Amino acid sequence: MRLAAVLAVAVAVVFGAWLLVRGDDDPESQATPQPAEAEAISAGGLRALARSLDGPVFWAGPRRGMQYELSRTAGGRVYIRYLPQNAEIGDPDPRYLTVATYPVPDALEATRAAGEAAGGVSRPLSGGGLAVYNTSRLSSVYLAFPGSDRQIEVFHPSGKRALQLVTSGAIVPIAAPSQPRAVTPAELRRAQAEVGHPIFWLGPRANATYELTRLEDGRTYVRYLPRGVEVGDPRPRFATVGTYPLQDALSALRAAARGPAALTFDLPSGGLAFYNRGTPRSVYFALPNENYEVEVFAPSAARARLFVRSSKVTPVG
């Protein structure tokens, strides 16, 4: 195996996750899994890989000026390492951001149990997820979400940076833009678990078809189609709620709302909403201490504002 890349990560990442999930009293956990060959891969190649697998693969999103290095094991573990352009694929230096995805049955419970071990620290995440790290090894943070059989490990030489990436919502599934599809509320809940952050909607509606579209950067759209309207109808005349991952969303929204054409109003939750005079049918809002922004579109500008003011826009429950 000519694997300088994974030699750098196998002990620091793979072995750490194996111990976390299985427990260090398990004899099998004493053997580091053998990784596959490391290779350079493009963002498009990563998306193709994600489409070919049975479950989601996570990463820290596209990063300008970085090249992506992929390693896999026969057991289904996937490692994505972010290297600067001047680094060689297979560089053995364990100083680069790495996001690993592990198939783990009932991953959320396994992660929760690890957080209860000696030295474990747990942090709740949006969407019902959980992040865990151990004070004896701060460079790796583990996370999982409800309804998913994937555990994710984020490795960074700076434990503070690893935790920041996890809690900011920067760790997301790799996915190609999806075609719009009709979904049930249960399928919306599963999609929410996969993206790792809340997906907002207007709640259940009789005789409506729920249309879901997901983009590769984590943005999601839930559109309400009346009976008889086909999924994918191009007409911009149906109520739609978009959820956009955005670090420190409330500060970002305040900055966007400083424009001369912006009109703002406060929300009871301490959040802020705004819309633009030129496009009043779209209203944007963000909430304190959350890393997502929500857009509500309605055919009527007054109705879009009413949806937001009345607190009818909520995460899928």
Domain parsing of the chain, residue ranges = 4-173, 181-315
pLDDT at residue 121 tops 90: yes
pLDDT at residue 9 tops 70: no
pLDDT in tens, 43-93: 888 888 888 888 889 998 878 788 999 999 888 999 999 999 889 998 888
Summary mean pLDDT of the chain: 83
Torsion of CA 107, 111, 113, 117, to 10 degrees: 150
Question: What's the CATH class of domain 181-315?
Answer: alpha beta
Contact between 165 and 276 under an 8 Å Cβ cutoff? The reply is no
CA distances to 23, 224, 225, 227 from 206, in Å: 48, 10, 11, 10
Q: How confident is the model at residue 21 (pLDDT cuts 50, 70, 90)?
A: very low
> Which structure tokens are listed for 26?
């398990």
Q: How confident is the model at residue 171 (pLDDT cuts 50, 70, 90)?
A: confident
Question: How far is Cα 259 from Cα 10, in angstroms, rounded to an integer?
Answer: 49
Nearest in space to 54 (alpha carbons), one of 210, 207, 194: 194
* CA 170 to mean position of chain CA atoms: 6
Question: How far is Cα 126 from Cα 200, in angstroms, rounded to an integer?
Answer: 12
Nearest in space to 254 (alpha carbons), one of 265, 245, 244, 243: 265
Phi and psi at residue 228, in whole multiples of 5°?
Answer: 95, -10
CA distances to 124, 172, 247, 312 from 275, in Å: 31, 28, 20, 17
Q: Is 31 exposed, middle or buried (0-12, 13-18, 19+ CB in 10 A)?
A: exposed
Question: How far is Cα 223 from Cα 198, in angstroms, rounded to an integer?
Answer: 16
Side-chain half-sphere exposure of 12, counting CA atoms within 13 A: 24
Q: How confident is the model at residue 24 (pLDDT cuts 50, 70, 90)?
A: very low
Question: How far is Cα 209 from Cα 214, in angstroms, rounded to an integer?
Answer: 16
Pairing label, strands 272-276, 262-266:
antiparallel
Side-chain half-sphere exposure of 277, counting CA atoms within 13 A: 6
The pTM for the full model equals 0.54
Report the helix count and the strand count for the chain, using DSSP H and E. Answer: 8, 20
C-alpha torsion sign, points 30, 33, 34, 39: negative
Q: How confident is the model at residue 307 (pLDDT cuts 50, 70, 90)?
A: very high
Side-chain half-sphere exposure of 237, counting CA atoms within 13 A: 6
